[in-house]
Amino acid sequence: MPFLLLPVDDPPGPASDRASIERNCIALLSSPVALAADPASAGWLGRHSDRPAIPASGLWNNRHAFAAFDPEALAQFEIWVERCPSLLDKIAAGAELGSRPPATGYATGGNSMRLKDKTALIIGAGQSPGETLGNGRATALRFAQEGARVLCADRDLASAEDTARQAGNGAAAFRADVLDEAALEAAVAEAVRLWGRLDILHYNVGVSIAGGDAPPTEITAEAFDRVTAINLRGFVLAVKHALPVMRRQQGGVILSISSAAAVESYPYVAYKTTKAAMLAFTEQVAIQNAGHGIRCNTILPGLMDTPMAVDTRVRHTGKTRAEVAAERDAKVPLRRRMGTAWDVANAALFLASDEAGFITGVALPVDGGRLVQIG
């Protein structure tokens, strides 16, 4: 049976919270390749496991890998197992619990990088406060892992810089507030300045409750305008400045994060309407630019275990994170468990790659079957 080691400086939730322990430990399952924090950790793991170990900073919590940092982690893990005896059984049954196949590219020792020599601008590549990884950072890491040079743009420059450091492969950071059109234009120009072209634009910015969103009878004009400016206007303006570059190149990929809320019942008016509008805009950009070799697609995440989706609700409802997570898990048909940022990142990777070269104008659900369930 495989064993799992976790970093002692980032334990998976409160030790007393068995559900949190299980959730976070299981999220690290499934690759036959071990992922370590640094060469020293990789060497230590290699001496204690029959799995090859690869040093890769910042990716320890990828569900495609086991993580090992130092011997003390094993002692901590044993403590968690004592508090949650069923954990080992769940780890042993990882495939049954939704473990994923190993990622392609250098993480599994392969030679095929799906975005080799591509350049990408990810807007919203920072990290919101919370216990889990956000979609933007996860996507930046996956793109870089598959060979892309990534410009990590975010209104929080320090967070963007942290993402760029973790991504490696020449990734850079750039401060850009999506409320400022000039900043979006400058981000596109910076990618071109750095690498001479822009192959992928990924708009990964969105806000709902934190922006003051509310039901139709309670929404304020200010909150509606704020959410619309962030979710929709920023996307439109980013595309506005990326399209001339991609048209000159006669090729490119435009991606965005919409939401399953666009097509399912959702209580708050601004988020739903802006995310639905993104679907129409995606179709418009796709058909108007197909002749230039530009593809445009969007992703519809369902119930995801990300800081924006879960931790924001914790702050606004007063519930514990475990309570919010359990409520959301129960609504997911597939394994009764939310998806993670890696699920969204892998969908973005596919749509950005040449594997999706004949796909444009689509909205791809990443939702564990929820949209199928509701029809």
Given this model, what pLDDT does residue 312 score?
Answer: 86
For residues 120 and 348, the answer to whether their CB atoms sit within 8 Å is no
Place of tokens 């991609």: 246
pLDDT band at 129 (very low <50, low <70, confident <90, very high): confident
Query: What is the reported pLDDT for 162?
Result: 96
Q: What pLDDT, in 10s, does the model give residues 276-302?
A: 999 999 999 999 999 999 999 999 999
Please tell me the pTM assigned to this model: 0.73
Catalytically annotated residues: 271
Does the pLDDT at position 14 exceed 80?
A: no
Helix 269-289 to helix 221-228 angle (10° resolution) is 30
Phi, psi (deg, nearest 5) at residue 32: -75, -5
Which of 193, 195, 191, 229 lies closest to 212, judged by CA? Answer: 229
**Tens-digit pLDDT profile for residues 2-11:** 334 433 333 3
- pLDDT classification of 146: cutoffs 50, 70, 90: very high
Sheet holding 34-36: strands in order across? 53-55, 34-36, 66-68
- Using CA atoms, how far residue 257 sits from 194, 248, 269, 336, in Å, is 25, 25, 18, 23
How many Cα atoms within 13 Å fall on the side-chain side of residue 53?
A: 23
